């Protein structure tokens, strides 16, 4: 007799390497338990290393070229360089080519937070050892509570360009690295590491940042960006809104995914034409796919499942996954130009494979996800890989 299995049971089998015909009964929490087993050694190994590292915020790095103050986040546009024809004048753009002399210390500090705090939280979730939760909470106090070290809840001075602007809407993509931090915070409430008063202060920071993101000139500009920047704005707002229980913004993000992101970015063949036009078409395509998938993971509900949503012509996340997965499995099949930098360093353990593999009961995606590197060390790759702790994302 052929046995029917639920989507959860089917995905557990794929993640654990079992075939559907030998699938045992795991119980209602099987997916989480199996993922814990897959991730335990990696997560605990990283968290043990991060226990030795004190929080470092933006205030540890003086940004002399910033128009803001000590607690203001500052970064400079990656692809902007001194003009050889006018060395003292406004910078000029070289798309895809990162200028190593631009100020990136604040971004590095933010990425460090996004690597360490969620890993420590994931270790707490898996082991229930308070030492991990306590260190994770120290990062939150430093970044969002302590007046001497906290970051102001805006990115007014992000992605500045020498001689042109003190900050741009495009800089808001830098706080993509707060998405998994916000995702991790509620897990810490199950520990004694963060007091109720401290948590309210942390939450208020995200409330204030959401207000700035959705009403400021820079925020509106980033919302209306046509490529991965617009996608990442929705991804950020969706997670911050979920954390702060802003149901109005959650609904806005769901509608924007359906009415703006998919129609304007996804081609009939499943590619992202705006990313293919860039000088790093492969990594930008991966990046945008991961952001789209994470939006679906954050916002989908039983009554509004974005994984199943399709436009009238059939375009949807399944289309996007079907296009890109063959080129993740075999990069040599990539029919477009190679990226001008870091092409050999991708792909890594793209979260889109895990999320879509579970959503569509697709063992090929899950098997591929397990084979890829979960802990890249190349700076550019880490920067474009903001979802690293699946135990915080899969229920």
Q: What is the spatial distance between Cα 146 and Cα 144, in angstroms, rounded to a whole number? A: 6
Within this chain, do residues 207 and 229 fall inside the same structural domain, yes or no?
A: no
Q: Does some domain include residue 27?
A: no
Cβ burial of 52 (10 Å; 0-12, 13-18, 19+) is exposed
Query: Would you say residue 19 lies in a domain?
Result: no
Q: Does position 281 have pLDDT exceeding 90, yes or no?
A: yes
Domain contains 16? no
Burial 327-353 (b: 16+ CB within 10 A, else e): bbbeeeebeeeebeebeebbbbbbbbb
Helix (H, G, I), strand (E, B) or coil at 19: coil
Instruction: Judge whether residue 25 has pLDDT over 50.
Output: no
Model pLDDT for residues 149-163, shown as the tens digit of each residue: 999 999 999 999 999
Q: Please tell me what DSSP assigns to residue 166.
A: S
Do 170 and 269 fall within a single domain?
no
CA-wise closest residue to 293 among 313, 314, 272, 279: 272
- Nearest one of 387, 168, 209, 185 to 292, comparing CA atoms: 387
Shared-domain flag, residues 284 and 370: yes
SS3 360: coil
The verdict on 199 and 303 lying in the same domain is no
The total number of structural domains that make up the chain: 2
Assigned domain for 4 exists: no
Q: Same structural domain for residues 92 and 204? A: yes
* 348-361 per-position pLDDT tens digit: 999 999 999 999 99
C-alpha–C-alpha distance, residues 327 and 343, integer Å: 13
* 61 within a domain of the structure (yes/no): yes
pLDDT in tens, 184-211: 999 999 999 999 999 999 999 999 999 9
pLDDT classification of 276: cutoffs 50, 70, 90: very high
Q: What is the CATH number of the domain that holds 140?
A: 1.50.10.100
Whether 139 is covered by a domain: the verdict is yes
Question: Using the 8-state DSSP alphabet, how is residue 216 labeled?
Answer: S
Q: Is residue 33 part of a domain?
A: no
Q: Using an 8 Å Cβ cutoff, are 140 and 194 in contact?
A: yes
Domain residues for 93? Answer: 51-211
Question: pLDDT-derived band of residue 47, with 50, 70 and 90 as boundaries?
Answer: very high
Domain boundary among 164, 180, 211: 211
Kindly state the tokens that stand for 334. Answer: 């990539």
Last residue of a domain, one of 185, 211, 237: 211
Please report which helix (H) or strand (E) contains residue 303, including its range.
Answer: none
Residue 98: pLDDT band by 50, 70, 90 thresholds? Answer: confident
Q: Is the pLDDT of residue 323 over 70?
A: yes
Q: Six-digit token pair at 13?
A: 């089998």
Select from 211, 234, 260 the last residue of a domain: 211
Residues 165 and 92 in one domain: yes
pLDDT of 284 reads 97
Q: What is the pTM of this model?
A: 0.90
Evaluate whether residue 35 is within a structural domain. Answer: no
């Amino acid at each position: 007799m052929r046995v029917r299995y639920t989507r959860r049971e089917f995905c557990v089998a794929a993640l654990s390497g079992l075939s559907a015909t030998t699938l045992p009964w795991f119980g209602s929490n099987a997916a989480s338990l199996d993922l814990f087993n897959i991730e335990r050694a990696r997560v605990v190994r990283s968290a043990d290393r991060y226990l030795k590292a004190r929080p470092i915020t933006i205030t540890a790095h003086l940004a002399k070229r910033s128009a803001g103050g000590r607690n203001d986040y500052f970064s400079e546009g990656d692809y902007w360089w001194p003009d050889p024809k006018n060395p003292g004048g406004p910078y000029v753009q070289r798309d895809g080519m990162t200028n190593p002399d631009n100020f990136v210390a604040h971004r590095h500090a933010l990425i460090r937070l996004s690597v360490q705090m969620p890993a420590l939280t994931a270790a707490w979730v898996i082991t229930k050892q308070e030492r991990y939760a306590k260190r994770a909470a120290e990062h939150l106090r430093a970044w969002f509570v302590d007046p001497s070290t906290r970051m102001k809840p805006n990115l007014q001075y992000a992605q500045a360009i020498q001689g042109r602007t003190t900050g741009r809407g495009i800089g808001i993509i830098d706080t993509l690295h707060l998405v998994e931090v916000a995702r991790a915070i509620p897990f810490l409430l199950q520990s004694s590491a963060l007091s109720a008063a401290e948590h309210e202060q942390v939450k208020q920071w995200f409330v204030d940042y959401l207000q700035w993101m959705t009403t400021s000139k820079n925020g509106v500009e980033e919302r209306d960006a046509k490529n991965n920047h617009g996608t990442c704005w929705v991804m950020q707002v969706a997670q911050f809104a979920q954390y702060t229980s802003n149901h109005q913004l959650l609904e806005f993000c769901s509608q924007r995914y359906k009415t703006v992101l998919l129609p304007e970015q996804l081609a009939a063949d499943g590619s992202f034409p705006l990313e293919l036009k860039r000088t790093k078409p492969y990594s930008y395509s991966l990046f945008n796919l991961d952001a789209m998938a994470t939006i679906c993971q954050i916002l989908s509900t039983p009554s509004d499942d974005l994984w199943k949503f399709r436009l009238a012509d059939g375009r949807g996340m399944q289309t996007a996954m079907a296009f890109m997965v063959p080129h993740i499995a075999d990069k040599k099949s990539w029919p477009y130009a190679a990226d001008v930098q870091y092409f050999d360093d991708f792909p890594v353990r793209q979260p889109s494979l895990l999320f879509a593999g579970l959503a569509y009961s697709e063992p090929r995606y899950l098997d591929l996800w397990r084979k890829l590197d979960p802990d890249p060390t190349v700076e550019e790759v880490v920067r474009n890989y903001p979802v690293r702790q699946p135990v915080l994302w899969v229920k």
